[in-house]
Amino acid sequence: MFALTARRGVLASVVAQVLIATPALASEAQGGSVNLLEPKAGLMFWTLIIFALLFVVLAKFAFKPLFAAVEAREKALEDAIEGAKRDRAEAEATLAQQRAQLENARNEAQSIIADSRATAEKMRADLLAQTKQQQEEMIEQARRAIEGEKASAIADLRREAVDLAIAGASRVIEKNLDSTGNRQIVEQFLASLDGKAAR
C-alpha cells in the first residue's frame, strides 16, 4: 500500500511538471510571450501526444494498482459485511438457543414445583386419611371397650341381683333352697324382663 502511494506521488509530480513545462517550452521555442488561450496547432499536437503518453503510462503503472487497491478495498468491505452478517446470525442463533434453554429451565422449574405441590398435597391427604382411620380405630376400640365394660357391669349387676333375690327369697321362705335351681329360675325371670324391655 505504501509503494502504491509512493508511485502515485511520483506520477502526479511528473504529470504536473510535464503540464507546466509544455507551455513554457513552447513559448521559449517561439521566443515571445505566450497566450495560453490562443489555439496553436503545434502546442495542441504536443499536448495530445503528452496526454496520450501520460495516459499509457498511467494505464500501465497507476490504473491497474489503483483498480486493484479499490477492488481489494471493496472485497475487504464485502468480507467485513459478510462477516458481520455471519456474526449477527450466530449471535441471534445463540440468543435464540439461550432463550429456549431459559424457557425450558423455567418450564422444568414450574413442573418440579407443580410435582412438589402435588406430592405435598398427596402426602397431606394420606396423612389426614391415616389419622382419620386411626381415630376411627381408636373410637371403635373405645366403643368395644365400653360395650365390654357395660356387658361386664350388667353381668355383675345381674349376679348381684340374683344373689340379692335369692337371699331375699330365702328369708321370705325361711328355708335354704337349692341355690343352683333358684339361680336358674331368677335368671330366666330376669331374661324375660330384658325381653319385655327390648320390645
Q: Confidence band (pLDDT; 50, 70, 90) for 12? A: low
- Whether residue 168 lies inside any domain: the answer is yes
pLDDT at 170 (0 to 100): 65
The DSSP code sequence of 4-28 is HHHHHHHHHHHHHHHHHHHHHHHHH
- Whether residue 161 lies inside any domain: the answer is yes
**C-alpha cell recorded at residue 157:** 349387676
Q: Confidence band (pLDDT; 50, 70, 90) for 160? A: confident
**What's the domain count of the chain?**
1
Could you tell me which residues come within 8 angstroms of residue 80 by beta carbon, excluding any fewer than 6 positions away? none
For the segment 56-83, what is each residue's pLDDT rounded down to a tens digit?
888 888 888 888 888 999 999 999 999 9
Please give the residue range of the domain that contains residue 190. Answer: 155-198
- Whether residue 83 lies inside any domain: the answer is no
- Whether residue 177 lies inside any domain: the answer is yes
* Widest CA span in the chain: 195
Angle between helices 179-198 and 64-173 (to 10 degrees): 130
Element (H, E) at 52: helix 41-57
- Whether residue 175 lies inside any domain: the answer is yes
Percentage of residues in the chain with pLDDT exceeding 90?
30
- Whether residue 163 lies inside any domain: the answer is yes
pLDDT at 90 (0 to 100): 93
pLDDT at 47 (0 to 100): 87
pLDDT at 62 (0 to 100): 82
pLDDT at 100 (0 to 100): 94
Is residue 29 scored above 60 in pLDDT?
A: no
- Whether residue 4 lies inside any domain: the answer is no
Could you tell me which residues come within 8 angstroms of residue 170 by beta carbon, excluding any fewer than 6 positions away? 176, 177
- Whether residue 179 lies inside any domain: the answer is yes
- Whole-angstrom Cα distance, residue 140 to residue 151? 16
| Helix residue ranges, H only, 63-178 | 64-173
In this predicted model, which residue has the larger pLDDT, 25 or 132? 132
